[in-house]
Each structure stands twice: as C-alpha cells, then as structure tokens.
Amino acid sequence: MDSKKEQNIVLIGFMGCGKTSVGKRLARRLHYPFIDTDQMIEKKAGCTINQIFERKGEAFFREMETDILQEIRTSYRQTVIATGGGLPVKKQNRELLKEIGHVVYLKTSKETVMKRLSGDTTRPKLRGEDLSRKVDMLLNEREPIYQETADQVIEADNKTFYEIINAIIDTMKREGKQ
C-alpha cells in the first residue's frame, strides 16, 4: 500500500460468515464501492461457480481467484472487498491480501455456518452428503489460515451488522488507516 490511510478493507472467512452482507453495509456507511471476488469471477467466466468447478475444475477456479486479486491490487483503492471462503488457502493469495488492505476475519462457529448453509446448492465444496463432516474438515484446515492472514479478527456469531461495522471502523481509525 502506498499510504496507510484510506485503505481497502478486505473481508475473509468461511462460507456463510457474512462477508457479503457485512461488506455491502460497510461500503454504504463509508461511501466506498463494494466488490465481491466470487461475483467478479462469475462475470469474467460468464457462468456460475458451480459450472466453473464442473467444467474446468477447482484448480482453474483458484487460478482465477489469484488473477482477480492481482487486478484488485493494481486497480482498486478505498473499496470494500468480500472474498471467497477458500481464497486465503493459497500462500500467494495471502500475500496479495496483505498488500491490498486491512484484512478482517469474520469468525463464526460451526453451528452458525451449518444453520446458514444447510440446503445451499451454490457452493461446490459443500455439495453432496454429510455437510457436517465437510464443514468440520474445511474449518479445521482453514481456521489457522484465516487467523494468520487477518489484521483484525471479529467474533461475528452474536454481533449485529452495526456492531461488526463499528468494530472495523474503530480499529481502522485507531491504527490510522481511516
């Protein structure tokens, strides 16, 4: 980042943790634009994430995530960015995220994730049998990665949007990033 002030804000965390819902509201509050890496990828590919996974495989989707991050790093300032839940798993992506802006991990429990995602058919990583086992496996693998990548961790389970947004803005002000 060229300047510490007026940074991008990047939201990371597991599927269903509220990155998009929080991000849209935070952007409105700050009068920043809002972007979502999943939406950018779908637009670029001209099909859904499910279709990308089916037609080209997960590795191809992960390449697209890195391309999008590189584009964001060069072209976006003062923007709120929601990211796909698996994006920080790749080391290169974690380095890019840190360069892009203030990274916030919205931490949610397995129970919250399960409640929000049961019946969801839009996420290829969770399709098929035994949602509970899949969520367990992915959460265990990713939790330390989210923690390591984040500048700020917010326990989001029992917080309102208003509280989450205030926590982000307060921290950024305190750290001279706003």
Query: Which range, of 69-77, 78-86, 98-106, 149-157, touches ligand S3P by CB under 6 A?
Result: 78-86
Which of 88, 84, 156, 92 has its CA nearest to residue 125? 84
Least Å distance, CB 38 to ligand S3P, is 5
Residues 6+ apart with CB under 8 A from 9: 23, 26, 30, 32, 79, 80, 81, 101, 102, 104, 168, 172
Query: Which range, of 21-29, 73-81, 95-103, 120-128, touches ligand S3P by CB under 6 A?
Result: 120-128
CB 45, CB 55: distance < 8 Å: no
Task: Please state, in angstroms and rounded to a whole number, the distance separating the CA atoms of residues 23 and 79.
Answer: 10
By C-beta, is 38 or 151 nearer to ligand S3P? 38
Residue among 21, 42, 109, 124 that touches ligand S3P (CB under 6 A)? 124
Tell whether residue 85 is a contact of ligand S3P (CB under 6 A): yes
Structure-token match 């995602």, residue found:
117
Tell whether residue 114 is a contact of ligand S3P (CB under 6 A): no
By C-beta, is 49 or 150 nearer to ligand S3P? 49
- List of residues contacting ligand S3P (CB under 6 A): 15, 19, 38, 49, 84-86, 123-125
